[in-house]
A = this chain, B = another copy of it.
Amino acid sequence: MVMPLNVLEKSINKRISLLLKDNRILDGKLVGYDEYMNMVLEDTEETKDEQVRRIGTVVLRGNNVVTIVPK
Query: Interface of A with B (CB < 8 Å)?
Result: 1-8, 12, 20-22, 24, 26, 31-34, 37-40, 55-70
Contact = CB atoms under 8 A, between A and B. Distances in A.
19 contacts: A2-B32, A4-B32, A4-B33, A4-B34, A4-B38, A4-B40, A6-B32, A8-B59, A21-B22, A22-B66, A37-B38, A56-B70, A57-B69, A58-B69, A61-B63, A61-B66, A61-B67, A64-B66, A64-B67
Give the number of copies in the complex: 7
Nearest to A62: B61
Contacts of A3: 32-34, 40
Nearest to A46: B67
